[in-house]
Structures are given as C-alpha cells and as structure tokens.
C-alpha cells in the first residue's frame, strides 16, 4: 500500500473514532435549547441536502424503484428515526458519557438477537462477553437504583433502551437480508430524506408553537455538525476503511468512541466521571470485544 493510501486510511479510521465519538456531546449541546425531534430532523435534513448536492454533481441521482425504496424506508425507520431519534430524546435527561456507554452495548444485543432467530451460532465466547458486558451495567448501578426513582432519569433510560432495540433490529435485518448496496450515496440520500421528513413531522406535532428565537447559536452549530460530520463524514469514513482493512480492525478502533464521548462530556460539559463509570466502561468494551471478535483468515 502506498504512503498516500496509508494516509487516507489512517484519516478514515481516525474520523470513525473521533467524529462518532463526538456525536453524543454534540447531541447533548443541541438539545439544551432545541427540542430533540427538531435536532434529529434538521440533522438528517442537512445530511440529505449534502447527499443531494453530491449526487447531482456526480450525475448519479435517480429513482431506485419501489422495492429498494421500501428497504431504505425500513432502514431509515429503525436506524435513524427510532435509534438516532430516541437517543437524541434520551440525552435531554442523560449525560452524554452515560448515553454513549450504554449505547455501546448494542453489539451484545445484536449477538443475542441473532442467536435467538438462528442467523448466528451460540458460543461460549459470545456468552462470556455478554456476561462481562452486562456486569459493566450492573457496576454503574451498584450503589443502588435511587437515580431510577427520578422520572426524568428513568424516562431517559427507557428512551435509550428503545433506541438500542431499534439499532439492534435494524442491524439484524441488514444481516438477514444479506444485501449489498449498489450505491451507498443513493441509498443514504433516500434514508436521510425520509427520516428528516418523518422526524420534522413528529417535531411539529409535539412542538407546534415552538419559539425558534430561543434556539442558541451553540445548539444550531451542533445540529449542523451532526449532519455534516456525524451523518456524512463518519459514515463514509467507516465504509472507506471497511474496503481496506478487516471489519474487526475497524470495530476495535470504533470502541474508542465511548472513551472519547466520556472524556469530552467531562471536559466540555463537566459531566462526572466516577471510578464506577471507568470500571463499567472497561467491562462493557471488553464484553463487546469478546462477543464480536473473530479471527480473520489471511
């Protein structure tokens, strides 16, 4: 591999770790003054406009057919509307670091769901990883469940659980479908567009009298950041890296997302980073790694 391509690969890998790691912080800043469904709706709108401009520039914009549209609507509903949307709602009451840490459990849920419906074989290694991962969750709450008695905190956990389930079902659906995209850019455009329309519709229903003048410049900037770097740059960097290194190598690097999110939450928003949270982070990342690690054939 040439030095030039090495630089591109390293840049892509760092982009996956950094931009997806900063997503939780950006969401937390955005929802400080903007209702969550507006945040995620405008985030996808920004992303869809960028994709539209790119497709027009490349002269690749076309109709994808009703069957493919249906597939993209399912993906968009599960991964963007439910998973991304409910994560954004959850961060109204949950710290960004805790949100990223609990979201890191998603691969474990995917493993359990895949085993349950028979598209992946159960293994001792996998279940050891599950036990270790969920022991991290238990470590977070080992001091008691007092926080769950607070309605806002409990609702945040509930919304995040819905988000994790949405991403899990979407991932399993992708695995079961076994379909390779003919054009990632085109599929993303339809996914982002459908999600933005649906989420902005939800926002208007829930907040019909919203005062846009109350939206802070920091929150608006965070929404734009999410659309450009969280949705576009992060996703394309991930797929660029997948074409050049193994999925295991990319996923190992992406585990740094959680560490980055916790660090930035502490640095920028003064979120508490306790000993229990650090131990829980180690256990959850270790559990996810054990569950998903596969030896690659040379």
User: Residues 219-270: pLDDT tens digits?
Assistant: 999 999 999 998 898 877 877 776 676 655 666 666 778 888 999 999 999 9
Report the distance separating Cα 26 and Cα 122, nearest Å: 37
Which residue in 117, 74, 137 sits closest to 288, CA to CA? 137
Report the distance separating Cα 138 and Cα 145, nearest Å: 10
- Model pTM score: 0.87
pLDDT at 31 over 80: yes
Report the distance separating Cα 86 and Cα 195, nearest Å: 13
**Secondary structure of residue 27 in the 3-state scheme:** helix
Which residue in 74, 32, 89, 68 sits closest to 220, CA to CA? 32
Tally of CB atoms within 10 A around 55:
17
Q: Mark 27-53 as b/e (b = at least 16 C-beta within 10 Å).
A: bbbbbbebbbbbbbbbbbbbbbebbee
Contact 250, 40 (CB under 8 A): no
Contact 196, 42 (CB under 8 A): yes
For residue 295, the model assigns a pLDDT of 57
* Residue 51, CB-side half-sphere exposure with 13 Å CA sphere: 28
284 torsion bin: left (phi>0), alpha (psi -120 to 50), beta (else)? alpha
Most confident of 52-56, 176-180, 288-292: 52-56
For residue 164, the model assigns a pLDDT of 93
pLDDT at 4 over 60: no
Which residue in 242, 236, 238 sits closest to 257, CA to CA? 238
DSSP secondary structure letter of residue 183: -
Report the distance separating Cα 273 and Cα 257, nearest Å: 16
> In whole numbers, what is the pLDDT of the chain averaged over residues?
86
- The residues, any chain, with a CB within 8 Å of residue 204's CB and separated by 6 or more, are none
User: Residues 156-165: pLDDT tens digits?
Assistant: 999 999 999 9
For residue 298, the model assigns a pLDDT of 44
Report the distance separating Cα 246 and Cα 248, nearest Å: 5
Report the distance separating Cα 262 and Cα 204, nearest Å: 32
Poorest-pLDDT segment among 11-20, 140-149, 204-213, 258-267 = 140-149
Report the distance separating Cα 121 and Cα 130, nearest Å: 14
């Amino acid at each position: 591999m040439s030095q030039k391509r090495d630089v591109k690969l390293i840049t892509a890998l760092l982009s996956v770790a950094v931009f997806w790691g900063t997503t939780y912080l950006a969401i937390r800043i955005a929802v400080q003054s903007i209702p969550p469904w507006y945040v995620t709706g405008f985030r996808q709108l920004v992303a869809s406009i960028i994709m539209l401009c790119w497709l027009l520039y490349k002269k690749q914009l076309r109709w994808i057919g009703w069957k493919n549209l249906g597939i993209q609507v399912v993906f968009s509903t599960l991964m963007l509307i439910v998973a991304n949307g409910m994560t954004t709602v959850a961060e109204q009451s949950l710290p960004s670091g805790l949100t990223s840490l609990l979201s890191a459990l998603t691969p474990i849920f995917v493993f359990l769901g895949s085993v349950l419906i028979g598209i992946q074989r159960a293994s001792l290694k996998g279940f050891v990883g599950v036990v270790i991962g969920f022991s991290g969750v238990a470590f977070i709450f080992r001091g008691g469940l007092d926080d769950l008695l607070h309605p806002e905190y409990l609702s945040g956990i509930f919304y995040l659980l819905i988000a994790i389930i949405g991403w899990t079902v979407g991932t399993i659906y992708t695995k079961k479908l076994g379909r390779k995209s003919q054009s990632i850019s085109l599929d993303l455009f339809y996914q982002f567009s459908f999600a933005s329309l649906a989420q902005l519709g939800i926002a208007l229903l829930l907040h019909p009298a919203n005062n846009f003048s109350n939206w802070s410049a920091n929150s608006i900037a965070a929404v734009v950041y999410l659309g450009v770097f969280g949705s576009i740059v992060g996703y394309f960097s991930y797929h660029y890296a997948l074409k050049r290194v193994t999925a295991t190598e990319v996923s190992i690097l992406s585990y740094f997302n959680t560490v980055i999110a916790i660090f930035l939450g502490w640095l920028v928003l003064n979120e508490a980073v306790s000993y229990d949270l650090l131990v829980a982070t180690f256990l959850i990342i270790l559990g996810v790694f054990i569950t998903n690690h596969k030896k690659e054939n040379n």
